Structure 1
Amino acid sequence: MTATDDARRYRIMKAAVVTFARYGYRRTSMEAIAQTADMSRPALYQHFSNKEAVFREATRWALDRSAGNAETAAAAAQTPEARIEAILGVVLALHTPGLESNHFYELIDEVQLRAGDLWSQYEKRIVDAIRDLLVDSVERFDIARSGMDAEDIATVLFFGTKGISLDSHATEHRRRHVRVFVTAVLRGLAAS
């Protein structure tokens, strides 16, 4: 891909995400995506055969960006606990309805229906990153003594964070609950 192709793809993906968030899946048209991307509808059809193809690729793009943000946030943190919390903070943000979308829950349903495989890949990537942090931190966490394996613990941390995201309180309140949750789980794994 050339730099022009990359820029065009970025523009289309960003426009698709914004348009789906604004109108939901059902009310979004190829025309609306093209207008938001500042291109013609025929030009958009040169890249995608239909709305579902755009939606799947926009889902892949958004999830790849979220996973990349989680990995970047983890790399910047100083301790294994802070790295895990950083990853889960990005997960929490992905599961928190934004002000720009009145169609957040509809879009979650559409992702499950039309791109469930991409969602599963995202979940696996995040769980694997948490698992790897746990395994690489044997000096801090005694996973063997816990009687559990790192995959199960990572899965519980991931899905626990998704559950916390359903809390109707403000974002900072949910972030604090994730911090408490991570601390409680990791204290139970602390090496003696």
Structure 2
Amino acid sequence: MHIDRKIDHILDAALPVFVRFGFRKTSMADIARAAKISRASLYLAFNSKEELFRAGSMRAHTRTMANVTAVLAQSGNAIERVEAAIMVFQRELVIPLNESDEANELFATNMALAPDITIEARTKLLNVLEQTLAAAVQTGEINLEAARATPAQLASLILAGIEGIKHSRKAGNHLEDEIKLFMCFLRVAVTP
């Protein structure tokens, strides 16, 4: 098996194991079994469970940010593109972990093992949202004058709202509905 395909195969197999058992309770043997490879083969690819988890975080964040950027680069209504981009971010990074009974542990583990990856992705997300909103202000598609806000402030507010929704246990399986409601309020507030 080609090395990149082997790594992808292992990471694909590992995610459901982490989601099911959490980071702490998952062993390298569990991951090897899920990937249908020997533990020795797994250890040739990754020295530790921490290294494997970090590699999974890097791959997920890199893929997601490429998809988010592609959505925002499309033509059409800016707020609809922002909403679509936020949904991509949530579906690819948050929802798979949020559905786990160990979601809080998995999010905490990600911040412990891959804070640089997570912060870099969020910074990129903030920047592309700000650019999209600034372009929409320039064309008159949205108006931030009544709120006396800047595109950077609005982008930060969007991320803060989405982060709050993510951590709300009341949102639970209704995460996407809560995000749509948040974006509906935003659309009403900024549309001239």
Please classify the TM superposition score into its range, dividing by the shorter chain length: 0.7 to 0.9
Q: Counterparts of 1:4-15 in structure 2 under 5 Å? A: 4-15=2-13
Distance 2:170 2:144 in 1: 33
Equivalence for 1:188: 189
Secondary structure of the residue that 1:113 maps to in structure 2? helix
Paired letter, 1:52: E
Structure 2 distance, partners of 1:16, 1:117, is: 21
1:3-82 to 2 correspondence within 5 Å? 4-75=2-73, 78-82=76-80
In structure 2, distance between residues paired with 1:92 and 1:35: 29
Paired with 2:66 and 2:12, the residues of 1 have a C-alpha distance of 16
- Alignment partner, residue 168 of structure 1: 170
| CA–CA separation in structure 2 for the residues paired with 1:174 and 1:62 | 19
The Cα of 1:169 is off from its aligned counterpart by 4.7
| Structure 1: 4+ residue segments shifted above 6 A | none
Structure-2 separation of matches of 1:179 and 1:32: 37
Q: TM-score normalized by structure 1?
A: 0.82
Matching residue's letter, 1:160: G
Match of 1:92 among 90, 93, 104: 90
Higher fraction of helix? 2
Hey, what's the Cα distance between the residues in 1 that align with 2:49 and 2:7?
Answer: 15
Give aligned-pair identity as a percent. Answer: 24
| Cα separation, 2, equivalents of 1:111 and 1:176 | 25
User: Aligned pair in 2 of structure 1 residues 41, 90: CA closer, same or farther (>3 Å)?
Assistant: same
Determine the structure 1 residue equivalent to 2:179: 178
CA distance in 2, matches of 1:168, 1:95: 15
Conserved in 2, the CA contact under 8 Å of 1:97 and 1:104? Answer: no
| Aligned equivalents of 2:110, 2:161: Cα separation in 1 | 20
What is the rounded CA distance, in whole Å, between the counterparts of 1:26 and 1:176 in structure 2?
31
Identify unmatched segments of 5+ residues in structure 1: none
The aligned residue for residue 102 of structure 2 is 103
Q: Is the 8 A contact 2:130 2:152 kept in 1?
A: yes
Structure 2 alignment gaps of length 5 or more: none
Kindly indicate whether the alpha-carbon contact (under 8 Å) linking 1:91 and 1:161 is maintained by their aligned counterparts in 2. Answer: no
CA contact (8 A) 1:21 1:103 kept: yes
